[in-house]
Amino acid sequence: MPVGTNQVVLTGPVPRHSLMTLSESECVQDEEEEGGMKKHLTPLERLSMNMCHDQKTVKELLVGSRVGFYLVRGQIGYGSFSKVKLAFHALTKDKVAIKVLDKTRLDAQSQRMLSREISSMEALQHPNVVRLYEVVETPSRMYLVLEYAGGGDLHTRITEGKLSDAVSKIVFAQILSAIKHLHDNNVIHRDLKAENVLFTCDACIKVADFGFSTRVKNRSDILDTFCGSPPYAAPELFRDDNYVGPPVDIWAMGVLLFFMVTGTMPFRADTINKLRCCILEGTYSIPTWVSAQCQRLIRGILRQEPAERCALDQMLGCEWLLPVEMSRPHPPLQLNPIYLVEADPGDLSEEEEEVKGHLEELGITMDRIDNNQGKGSRSAITGVYRILLHRAQRSRGAESLPIICGVVKDPKKDSLRTYRGLRHTSKFCAIA
């Protein structure tokens, strides 16, 4: 090659990188640096970066297959103004149920009901009540992120056959425990029915759907809105303009108990007007196969006058439930993660210490929590915290089932063993 020429002679195979332009080389270098940086990011930082820059993740957010930190899957239920979808938390990998509401379809009354629903659920923390983890809002949608109960609902279970006496005791005891917790916190459900009683895959009962619920200052406060399902409606809802909340829930519990042990409803009619007459007359017939103790409880609940109905404490001590050893709910824990920052050393429970460690592993530091305070359930940090806290509580037996400690005489089968066996059948366990 003559000296001074600019010609380059290539011998042998040419490496691809040697043929790149300068800008291409810089891009590769940037990608390599970004890849190296991602290795050092916490899970939270990596997820946040993907939500801003990853094309697939951004597209999922735009089309609604991802909501906040949740990957949305198929629909599992629906209501008048909402759909319920299965989802997974992108960081914790826990299953959740997301109630999706179209804000454009909500009038002023519906918006007030939604506000009351959120307020009611924020006040509750009980093993037999569905939990609210987080609220996500977009310009057109409202998303309530809820505990997922994958075992179906009580109505579907009963349509497959009435419950045995022993199974009814265990199910009703959990419903009773949940409603007592509601009323102790001045929350009235107002839509208690078999469709709103869910099973987990471990056969634990969960009272759900607080769309018609309300919080009162005192349990004797007067209410004036007719809510709920007519077959479960107390006579005063048809008779009066005003009513007191707790007896309405108690009446619905009586209807539920009748439905569980007989497989039929106590008041049946072809039209709402005829149903109204049946309920106001208060006439029903309990089959003879229902135990005498259960019959007495049903009659004690389904009384026309609200003040004469069994109180919740009376039910807890009734003869029919006497053999049932109720599981004691674990003490409620703080649902706001800021408590982890503000608590004095040594004040945190085992569950809270465990959750604190998991949060830091995910990249949710105490400084980040401190900077995020004031948002309540409308915070993604709160959502992660509540999911992990609930997981820690469950792992410590916070949702153990009641047991029958007395001898249950059943001439056909061991009802208690049947109930425990149902955990492993399709009647109680959802298909993942």
Q: Is 204 helix (H, G, I), strand (E, B) or coil?
A: coil
Question: For the segment 52-81, what is each residue's pLDDT rounded down to a tens digit?
Answer: 988 898 888 888 889 999 999 999 888 777
Residue in this structure with the two tokens 């509601």, named with its chain if needed? 182
Please check whether residue 242 lies inside any domain of the structure. yes
Torsion angle, alpha carbons of 404, 406, 411, 416, to 10: 20
**Residue 299: which CATH number?**
1.10.510.10
CATH, residue 57? 3.30.200.20
Helix (H, G, I), strand (E, B) or coil at 76: strand
pLDDT value of position 37: 56
The verdict on residue 27 lying in a domain is: no
How does DSSP assign 293-346, residue by residue? HHHHHHHHHS-SSGGGSPPHHHHHTSTTTTTEEPPPPPPP--SSTHHHHHSPTT
- What is the separation of C-alpha 14 from the centre of its chain, rounded to a whole number of angstroms? 61
Instruction: Note the pLDDT of residue 159.
Output: 94
Tell whether 67 and 126 lie within a shared domain. yes
- Do 43 and 91 touch, CB atoms closer than 8 A? yes
Phi, psi (degrees; rounded to nearest 5) at 79: -135, -170
Whether 289 and 166 map to the same domain: the answer is: yes
Kindly state whether residue 411 falls inside one of the protein's structural domains.
Answer: no
Question: Which residue, of 147, 172, 205, is where some domain finishes?
Answer: 147
The boundaries of the domain holding residue 138 are: 53-147
Q: What percent of the chain has pLDDT over 70?
A: 85
Q: Which of 271, 303, 329 is the last residue of a domain?
A: 329
In the chain, the number of structural domains is: 3
Nearest to 72 by CA among 45, 96, 48, 39: 96
Residue 286 falls within a domain, yes or no?
yes
Show binding-site residues.
Answer: 99
Strand partners for 223: 243
Is residue 220 domain-shared with residue 353, that is, in the same domain?
A: no
Model pLDDT, residue 240: 75
Give the Å distances, CA to CA, from 361 to 46, 102, 354, 430.
13, 35, 11, 31
pLDDT tier at 360, thresholds 50, 70, 90: very high
Residues 221 and 363 occupy one common structural domain = no
Lowest mean pLDDT among 260-264, 309-313, 325-329, 355-359: 325-329
Assess whether pLDDT exceeds 70 at residue 166: yes
Verify that 287 and 377 share a domain, yes or no. no
- Residue range 183-204: average pLDDT? 95
Average pLDDT over residues 367-375: 85
Q: Indicate whether 320 and 380 sit together in one domain.
A: no
**Residue that finishes a domain, picked among 329, 361, 384:** 329
Question: Does residue 14 lie within any of the structural domains?
Answer: no
Q: Which residues are annotated as a binding site for ATP?
A: 99
Residues 251 and 138 in one domain: no
Q: Is residue 197 part of a domain?
A: yes
Could you report the per-residue pLDDT of 419-432, keeping only the tens digit for each? 444 443 333 333 22
What's the confidence (pLDDT) of residue 77? Answer: 85
- Co-location of 176 and 238 in the same domain: yes
pLDDT digits (tens, 9 = 90+) for 298-336: 999 999 999 999 999 999 999 999 999 987 777 888 899
Average pLDDT, the chain: 85
Which pLDDT does position 39 carry in this prediction? 66
**One domain for residues 167 and 140:** no
**Prediction pTM value:** 0.83
Q: Are 373 and 304 part of one and the same domain?
A: no
Examine the domain organization and report whether 175 and 275 are in the same domain: yes
401 domain-assigned: no
Q: Which residues are catalytic?
A: 191
Flag whether 25 is in a domain. no
Co-location of 178 and 108 in the same domain: no
